Amino acid sequence: MTRAPSSCLATAGLGLALAAGLTGCVGEMEPTVPPLPTVRARPLTDIAFARTPERIERGRYLADAAIGCVLCHSERDERRPGAPPVAGREYAGVVLEEAEGYRLVAPNLTPDPETGAGAWSDDMLARAIREGVGHDGRALGGPMWWWSFRQLSDEDLASIVVYLRSLPPVRHALPPRILSAAQEAERARQAEPLLEPVPARNLADPIERGRYLIEVADCMGCHTAWEGSPNPGGFAGGNRISRGGHQSFSANLTPDPAALGGWTEAIFVGAMRQGRGGALDPIMPWAAYRGMTDEDLGAIYQTLRLAPPVRHWVNNSAPPTPCAVCGQEHGLGEKNVPPVFARVEVDLGPLTSYTGRFQLEGKTFWIEISVDESALFASEEGGPPIELVPVAGGRFEGRGLTSPIAFERDETGAVTALLTFELGPDRWERVR
Ligand code: HEC
Ligand code: HEC
Q: What is the pLDDT of residues 210-249, one digit of tens each?
A: 999 999 999 999 999 999 999 999 999 999 999 877 899 9
pLDDT given at position 244: 75
Question: What is the mean pLDDT of the segment spanning 81-107?
Answer: 96
Name the residue at shortest CA distance from atom 5 of ligand 2. 219
Longest dimension (CA), the chain: 67
CA distance 302 to 423: 10
pLDDT at 34: 60
Give percent of the chain with pLDDT exceeding 70.
92
For residue 5, is pLDDT > 80?
no
Question: Quick one: which atom of ligand 2 is closest to the CA of 66?
Answer: 38
Statement: residue 24 has pLDDT above 70? no
Q: According to the model, what pLDDT value does residue 126 have?
A: 98
User: Which residue has the least CA distance to atom 33 on ligand 2?
Assistant: 219
Distance of CA 187 from the midpoint of ligand 1 (Å)? 13
Averaged pLDDT score across all residues of the chain? 91
Alpha carbons 236 and 360: distance in angstroms, whole number: 21
Q: Residue range 19-32: average pLDDT?
A: 40
| Ligand 2 pocket: which of 226, 250, 256 to mutate (most atoms within 8 A of CB) | 250
pLDDT tens, 54-86?
999 999 999 999 999 999 999 999 999 999 999
pLDDT(4) > 70: no
pLDDT given at position 199: 97
Cβ neighbors of 33 (< 8 A, separation 6 or more) are: 180, 181, 182, 185
Task: Indicate if the pLDDT at residue 115 is higher than 70.
Answer: yes
Residue nearest to atom 9 of ligand 2 (CA): 284
Q: How far is CA 395 from CA 258, 392, 405, 429, in A?
A: 23, 6, 6, 17
How far does CA 127 lie from the centroid of its chain?
Answer: 18
pLDDT at 32 > cutoff 80: no
Q: What spacing in Å lies between the alpha carbon of 180 and ligand 2's midpoint?
A: 30
Which atom belonging to ligand 2 lies closest to the Cα atom of 16?
1
Q: Which atom of ligand 2 is nearest to the CA of 213?
A: 38
Check whether 170 has a pLDDT greater than 80.
yes
| Residue 27 pLDDT greater than 70, yes or no | no
Please tell me if the CB atom of residue 109 comes closer than 6 angstroms to any atom of ligand 1: yes
pLDDT confidence of residue 33: 55
Confidence of residue 26 (pLDDT cuts 50, 70, 90): very low
pLDDT tens digits, residue range 269-311? 999 999 999 999 999 999 999 999 999 999 999 999 999 999 9
How do residues 319-365 score in pLDDT, each as one tens digit? 999 999 999 999 999 999 999 999 999 999 999 999 999 998 767 78
CA of 98 to the centre of ligand 1 (A): 17
Query: How far is the centre of ligand 1, averaged over its atoms, from the C-alpha of 210 (Å)?
Result: 23
CA–centroid distance, residue 244 to ligand 2 (Å): 17
Question: Sorting pLDDT into bands at 50, 70 and 90, what band is 259?
Answer: very high
154-192 burial, b for 16+ CB within 10 Å, e for fewer? Answer: bebbbbbbbbbbebebbebebeebebeebbbbbbbbbbb
